[in-house]
Chain A
């Protein structure tokens, strides 16, 4: 435990002042759960979070976007299927595919949104064991050259919480082979596959590396006292999810 207060102001620890100029939009959909946690993670990483509403028609001047976890539209139809057609999503899809390569991170329901939007290939179906699962999960960073993983070492193992019901990542063999060959498997489950995902895939990226989606929740492992280490002691640290947020901030200000 360090001197950072367990509950209190979300103050970035030893962040570079120039990161504060980077604005990360966090989108709230009806049924979103983890938008405030994602915003807090951005602030703790040293950046400036910007609240975005799914019904907005403009993205504004944000430098990156996070699609947070939750149950948009109650997971009705398919997880992420209705939210994918929100007015703001078309702006995000265009910006992510543009030459400007807007960085986009989808966490859990956000990952499901990215596959429904076809920004990322494949899809998520119900966990193979059919149960909701919530645990601390070890992941290996397979690709540290994406916009969201530059602050990790290649092959680094991190522990972050995982909580989902529709977390089984699937794609056809050809797509999986292409993802592997192009280094687009960004995170892989280590030690235990919690949902039957093909090839233990926990997270993937698009070809350019600006769009990343993952099922586990790095935004829940950014603060001492609230991460895996404090809960059950299995993790190496409470804050191993913070790297995704510092990575994109450093990318935006031109360090990575």
Chain B
């Protein structure tokens, strides 16, 4: 069954407290090559049947209205993934 993947990230200008905590923990485990971490969200929307242009448009609309808050987040990717 095909899925539509939606990726949401905090806006670049917004400090991401969770990412900041993660980047602080990495060197303690020996991962010293990473200077910054930003934590986002990935949604997988399963579609029963073919992904039409209309269904993809619905997914984009849902991504902007419910899955993300445009004040603090950007929808960075909406794509179809075949199972």
Contacts and interface: CB of A to CB of B under 8 A. Distances in A.
A116 B69 contact: yes
Given A125-B14, A125-B17, A130-B21, A170 B72 contact: yes
A130 B18 contact: yes
Contacts of A171: 71
A150 B40 CA distance: 42
Given A126-B17, A130-B17, A81 B69 contact: yes
A125 B18 CA distance: 10
For the residues of A in contact with B, the DSSP-based class is loop
Contacts of A82: 66
A143 interface: no
A78 B69 contact: yes
B14 A170 contact: yes
Q: How large is the interface on A (under 10, 10 to 19, 20 to 34, 35 or more residues)?
A: 20 to 34
Contacts, number: 34
A45 to B, nearest CB: 33
A207 B14 CA distance: 25
B66 A168 contact: no
A125 to B, nearest CB: 6
Contacts of B67: 77
A123 interface: yes
Nearest to B43: A77
A225 interface: no
Given A130-B17, A130-B21, A168-B17, A125 B72 contact: yes
A126 B14 contact: no
B81 to A, nearest CB: 21
A85 B66 CA distance: 9
17 contacts: A77-B66, A77-B67, A78-B69, A81-B69, A85-B66, A122-B71, A123-B69, A125-B72, A126-B17, A127-B17, A128-B17, A130-B17, A130-B18, A170-B14, A170-B72, A172-B13, A196-B17
Interface of A: 77-78, 81-82, 85, 115-116, 121-123, 125-130, 168, 170-172, 196
Interface of B: 10, 13-15, 17-18, 21, 66-67, 69, 71-72
